[in-house]
Structure 1
Amino acid sequence: MNMRPLLMTGLCATAILLAGPSRAAPEDAAAGHITGVGGVFFKAKDPKALAAWYRDVLGLALEPWGGAALRYDAPGHPPALIWGTFPATTKYFEPSTASFMINYAVDDLDAFLTKLKAKDVTPLKRSEDTTGRFAWILDPEGNKIELWEPPKRPAAP
């Protein structure tokens, strides 16, 4: 995969990778390698109530088994899921005390934040740089969520 590191500016002084076109594994590559992220799982004090909040407030379509399936081939989905680590001393996840933060890509940050405002969810902060537009919120259990609108790609001629 052609990876180009970009440094986010402002308080988000951490690297983010934007992926170019994917590259198939070499024909002689042995089996047994990571092909992508298969899920994000975390503990909740009240799993059903928290899942309902993600459904009702963020609009995740819950499956009968209780979670959501976010499709890679959805219209406007970024070409890659970003995986990264932060130092244990990072303040980037604050005010959450969780050891993780989930970034959800959105198609129109302003429209999404308007929907959230109608559900009494106020962003902690907003930011914009060359990697896109961002806003951060907390879920009912205090987990920080990063919302990201990737930069618009130029239309093909």
Structure 2
Amino acid sequence: MEKVLGFGGLFFRAAAPEKLARWYLDHLGIDLVPQTAEGQPWVASGGPTVFAPFAADTTYFTVEKAVMVNFRVARLEPMLAQLEEAGIACTRLDDMPGIGKFAHLHDPEGNPIELWEPEAPSA
């Protein structure tokens, strides 16, 4: 059976797409979508990707939104400090042993974001 290799993109509606794309660049380091064939899109670093449908009544993220994006980060605490210094409210969640560290925030349009520092593999 053929399988997909990973996410090729994430597309969602925004009231101010250019402004929101700039916010993601400025605060999370996600490159803007290229406008020419020579341009390069954001290239995610290799690592695990979770594809997880949640119950329709989940309270894990904002009920007004159907999707929450989870981004892997190398070091959660410095990322949170950087975001909070920029005035972006973040909520640190409890660590999940064997899984990693997590935090939640919202972009300027209220879209929920989860940051995940995967637990280092045991040696």
- Listed one character per residue, the Cα deviations across residues 43-76 of structure 1 (whole Å, up to 9, x for unaligned) are 00010010011011112122423994233xx3xx
Query: d(CA) in 2 for partners of 1:135 and 1:112?
Result: 10
Is the radius of gyration larger for structure 1 or structure 2?
A: 1
Aligned to 2:105: 137
The TM-score, its normalising length taken from structure 2, stands at 0.84
The TM-score, its normalising length taken from structure 1, stands at 0.68
AA of the residue aligned to 1:133: K
Query: d(CA) in 1 for partners of 2:77 and 2:107?
Result: 19
- Listed one character per residue, the Cα deviations across residues 95-153 of structure 1 (whole Å, up to 9, x for unaligned) are x5110000000000011011101110121342201110000001000011000000012
Query: d(CA) in 2 for partners of 1:124 and 1:116?
Result: 11
Structure 1 position 102 matched with structure 2 position 69 = yes
Structure 1 position 86 matched with structure 2 position 59 = no
Measure how far apart 1:34 and its partner are: 2.7
AA of the residue aligned to 1:58: L
Q: Which protein has the bigger helix share?
A: 2
Aligned to 1:53: 23
Identity, % of aligned pairs?
36
Gaps of 5+ in 1: 1-28
Query: d(CA) in 1 for partners of 2:54 and 2:103?
Result: 19
Structure 1 position 153 matched with structure 2 position 115 = no
SS in 2 for 1:129: coil
Q: Which runs of 4+ in 1 moved over 6 A?
A: none
**Number of aligned positions between the proteins:** 119
Of residues 88, 113, 126, the one that matches 2:93 is: 126
Structural RMSD (CA):
2.1
Query: d(CA) in 2 for partners of 1:117 and 1:123?
Result: 7
Aligned to 1:10: none
Measure how far apart 1:33 and its partner are: 3.9
SS in 1 for 2:95: strand
Query: d(CA) in 2 for partners of 1:101 and 1:39?
Result: 14
